[in-house]
A = this chain, B = another copy of it.
Amino acid sequence: MKPTTRKEEIIFQASQLFKEKGFSAVTMRDIAQLMGMKAASLYNHIEGKQEILSILILDLAKGFTSGMREIEQMKISPLQKIEKLIELHIDITVNQSEALASLNNDWMHLEDQDLEEFVRMREDYEEHFRNIIKEGISVGQIQPRHPEVILFSILSTLRTLYLWYQKRGKLDVNILKRDMVAVLLRGII
């Protein structure tokens, strides 16, 4: 995800700051300094601070939505779909961990239609995930526990993976996928 245009570069650098301090604590002057320019110059490329957040979060949310749609259409078992979803999250984490931080922590600072659109997409995503779990239970592939507990347990681990992935010196993605699938599906004992 190397930025090509100047606008993309601004958004990328901003995402680094957002990840560290959160959207509200980052100023346009902070972003400008990282870009090696003055704050006012940023406005030659972007509409404002809100647009940066909006692009960061909504683009990523669309990535999750389209990933979910692809996996749902595959002719594989519910359990295999969950494995694919775990891999989807890991791939996105590895490639876009900064935007993921904003999506997790700063989505509530989106405004108006952007906020509405995000909340709708997130609810849709969770609903589809939940249905896959329910189907897995009904075909006997998954233990008959409350789907909500299972959904939350998996999702919260995947959603905060970005906090942990970088700290542990970028271990191999394929090994990570294998271990995460094992721990999340089969437990630890």
Interface residues of A (CB under 8 A from B): 20-25, 79, 105-106, 108-109, 141-143, 145-146, 148-150, 152-154, 156-157, 159-161, 163-164, 168, 176, 179-180, 182-189
Contact = CB atoms under 8 A, between A and B. Distances in A.
A119 to B, nearest CB: 13
A64 B23 CA distance: 28
A168 B149 CA distance: 10
Given A153-B157, A153-B183, A189 B22 contact: no
| Copies of this chain | 2
A149 B182 CA distance: 10
Name the 10 nearest CB pairs between A and B, nearest first. A187-B187, A24-B24, A24-B25, A156-B160, A186-B187, A149-B179, A152-B164, A153-B183, A156-B157, A153-B157
B25 A184 contact: no
A172 to B, nearest CB: 12
Contacts of A163: 156
Contacts of A161: 152, 156
Given A22-B105, A25-B24, A105-B105, A188 B157 contact: no
Contact of A182 (B23, B108, B145, B183): B145
A145 B108 contact: no
Given A145-B188, A149-B183, A153-B157, 5 more contacts: A143-B187, A145-B179, A146-B179, A149-B179, A156-B159
B145 A183 contact: yes
